[in-house]
Structure 1
Amino acid sequence: TRILGVASHVQVSGYDGELNNWQRVADEVSKHPRVLASAPFVQAQGMLSFDQSVRGSLIRGVLPDAEDKVADFAQHMKSGRLEDLQPGRFGIILGADLARALHVMPGDKVTLIAPQGLVTPAAILPRLKQFQVVGIFEVGMFEYDSSLALIHMQDAQTLYRMEDRVSGVRLKIDDLFAAPRVSHELAKYLDADAMASDWTRSHANFFRAVQIEKNVMFIILLLIVAVAAFNIVSTLVMAVQDKQADIAILRTLGASPGSIMAIFVIQGALIGFIGLGLGVAGGVSLALNIDVVVPAIEHALGIQFLSKDVYYISDLPSELQWGDVIAITAVSFVLTLVATLYPSWRASRLNPAEALRYE
């Protein structure tokens, strides 16, 4: 959600980094039934300077009305509004971490240095332009908060000498998970000099890392459950070894091997049932209160588990999915019952004469 609050579902751009006649392209791709809105943008590198502070940044020129339909900047504005970007007034909206690094506040003027230089008889001089800070946003992702700056698209075209060209068109579709298929289908709506890419490709490394993490976590949790099941096996084996005389007496009183086996199965199942009950209660409680527990631990220890400059997110989200809870509990309980079979079988096969020989 935070990624798509700034990035777009699908992005149409030119192969050379510039897109001519963007209005025609936007009209063509809007014919696709799943496209809800489109917005042009200009994207380039720049250097922001204020007082003695200098920071490299990603400059994005946008049309506020159109951008509001494909992104969620309006929900993340700490001060100012996206509509405060007016053409010709050279206003700029900064990410919160970028503003803190530059030590600027709304109303201050920062100098934007464009990489394209001015050729003069003396030398090539950098292009400089002062922008007034009209707003600050914070989406909660260090990648955007520390480097992204928004200006009006017309101001960006003027600064970077793009005339009426843009870097591309951002699209919003009705189902974000259909973005890969929609981006492929848009090929027939586009000219040969334009291409479409979706949000999963623009952040491919992140989602690949998440997939690897999910697979590794599955293996880790499986090993934890296996160790717990082994503990039940060892506990029951020790119980059978310790209760040999008692088992023998029960057998001599007429208890069948099946009833002896049932006793230890019930004992193991009871251990598993109590353990699962405590585990599920603790896990569900922690999942529902993780937004309170983690900050409390961080405050008590004076550390931060998820630093914004290292991870994509700065807090630990939690969504309780009862389907997963029920499935994991059921599988764990089945493993608990399976773990009781071998010790129970050993108990049922105990020879009373052998067990009472030295009693």
Structure 2
Amino acid sequence: MFRPLSAYIGLRYVRSRQNKGFASFISASSTIGIGLGVMVLILVLSAMNGFERELAKRLLSVVPHGEFIAVTKPIDNWQQQVETLEQFDTVTHAAPVVKLGGLLQKGERLKALELRAVVPDYEIRVSRIEDFITEGSFSALTGNSMVVGKGIAKKLKVGAGDTVQLLLPRNSSGNGQFAAPIKRNMNIVAVFDFGGSIDETLAYIPLELGQSIAEIGDKVHGLRIATDDVFAAPKIVREIGMKLDSYVYMNDWTRTQGHVFNDIQLVRTVMFVVMLLVIAVASFNIVSSLFMAVNDKKSDIAILKTMGAKPSTLMFSFVFQGLTNGVLGALIGALLGAYLANNLTDIVLFVEQSFGVKFLSGDIYFIDFIPTELDMRDVVFTVISALVLSLLATIYPAWRASKIDPAKVLGQGG
């Protein structure tokens, strides 16, 4: 079977190195180091992909992708405005909203909250709030009723079917005196459990009730939209806002929840750089092992040169020898990384149950588990990066091997 001379020599040197204790240890450590670096990098990238997926799937399924809030006066004829927004190709659905702030009271317990007055049939088109309802029904949001987050319900110790008192600021009369707050007895018809800070602050009431409290007639404070590409929402909101007739503030999800996405990207970048440095450090072991191999094989190199072997042949022989470590490490790391990445959620859950710890708290973060999503492009890119670093580590020792002078080596041997 035909094999290039450089590959044949390199393979012979790899086999002979296995019988040498220290050289074999240095070679194995470089392979293990590269494999661990590749494996961890794939795990980190898969976890970050999982967080991005959950961000789009969970957080951005409740938080509006974009909002247009009136600046000077409420938006009139909101039904027609919704139809106008939905005519844009990048907008999937639109819905009205009235924004209010107030206090919720149950006995001696008080909780500040943000109120969103909405039409249930419209709201479920721009958000997936129904998917997170744990008690009651979101469609029952009519009359003096409200839907609250689990954090609010836990704070006030209430649930679906309970009655609470809603305290709202009254419009100032302009005489400098403090006006007594508006009080409304509200029936909780549903509780949603999304996770994170939203559960602690957000509540929904019917649009008609919100309009009555805000004294704006049949008008609304703003319009919410869902886009076909959540990560393009800032551009879409800006383009649409410039075409609207009303004078509005243009908000998108990156203003309120963008820090979560930015944190994910920052961790991805930092961990990618750190793991590449780990792979690079492991690759330097290839330099050490090749220098040892070159010193050990000086006489063989001299003999091959006197027999007519070209410097390029000798150089590629040692490149092949060193690259073997990189290939083995990258392949082993990729296989282990892909397997662990596909099962990362279950593995972390097992560790949490075994040691009684919790890595992510649902009360703080928008999820309470470690998500994962393996992207083969990340695997390919990581493997290629490891191979490139391994190749670069072999060049200088291999070049030094090709520059050995046969006369000096053989003369010393004589």
1:98 maps to 2:155:
no
- How far the C-alpha of 1:176 sits from its partner, in A, is 3.5
Q: Counterparts of 1:115-194 in structure 2 under 5 Å? A: 115-116=169-170, 124-140=179-195, 142-187=196-241, 189-194=243-248
Deviations 1:117-169 (A, max 9, x none): 7989x9632222222221111223x1212211111111222334443332211
Compare 151-160 and 273-282 and name the one that shifted more.
151-160
* Matched residue count: 355
Deviations 1:255-301 (A, max 9, x none): 66445434422221211111111110111012101111112222333
Give 1:70's aligned residue. Answer: 126
Give 1:199's aligned residue. Answer: 253
- Cα 1:110–1:246 change in 2 (3 A) is farther
Give 1:279's aligned residue. Answer: 333
- Cα 1:340–1:17 change in 2 (3 A) is farther
Compare 306-315 and 56-65 and name the one that shifted more.
306-315
Give 1:23's aligned residue. Answer: 79
Distance in 1, Cα, partners of 2:285 & 2:148: 56
Tell me if the contact between 1:9 and 1:198 (Cα under 8 Å) persists in the aligned partners.
yes
Q: Which runs of 5+ in 1 are unaligned?
A: none
- Cα 1:32–1:264 change in 2 (3 A) is closer
- Please report the TM-score for the alignment, with normalisation by the length of structure 2: 0.75
1:266 maps to 2:345:
no
1:112 to 137, 147, 166: 166
Give 1:289's aligned residue. Answer: 343
1:321 to 363, 369, 375: 375
- Cα 1:29–1:266 change in 2 (3 A) is closer
Q: CA RMSD in A?
A: 3.0
Matched residue SS, 1:3: helix
Tell me if the contact between 1:78 and 1:136 (Cα under 8 Å) persists in the aligned partners.
yes
Distance in 2, Cα, partners of 1:17 & 1:56: 26
One-letter amino acid of the counterpart of residue 128, structure 2:
D
- How far the C-alpha of 1:200 sits from its partner, in A, is 3.4
Give 1:79's aligned residue. Answer: 135
Q: Which has the higher helix share?
A: 2
Tell me if the contact between 1:95 and 1:144 (Cα under 8 Å) persists in the aligned partners.
yes
Distance in 1, Cα, partners of 2:314 & 2:244: 75
Tell me if the contact between 2:149 and 2:199 (Cα under 8 Å) persists in the aligned partners.
yes
- How far the C-alpha of 1:14 sits from its partner, in A, is 0.3
Give 1:32's aligned residue. Answer: 88
- Please report the TM-score for the alignment, with normalisation by the length of structure 1: 0.86
Q: Which runs of 5+ in 2 are unaligned?
A: 1-55
Greater relative contact order, per chain length (Cα 8 Å cut-off, separation 6+): 2
Q: Which has the higher strand share?
A: 1
- Cα 1:31–1:265 change in 2 (3 A) is closer
One-letter amino acid of the counterpart of residue 325, structure 2:
I
Distance in 2, Cα, partners of 1:101 & 1:248: 82
One-letter amino acid of the counterpart of residue 349, structure 1:
K
One-letter amino acid of the counterpart of residue 182, structure 2:
R
Tell me if the contact between 2:283 and 2:389 (Cα under 8 Å) persists in the aligned partners.
yes
Distance in 1, Cα, partners of 2:201 & 2:73: 20
Q: Counterparts of 1:43-62 in structure 2 under 5 Å? A: 43-62=99-118
Deviations 1:93-123 (A, max 9, x none): 1212322222222212222221337989x96
Q: Counterparts of 1:324-339 in structure 2 under 5 Å? A: 324-339=378-393
Distance in 1, Cα, partners of 2:73 & 2:334: 53
One-letter amino acid of the counterpart of residue 285, structure 1:
Y
One-letter amino acid of the counterpart of residue 26, structure 1:
V
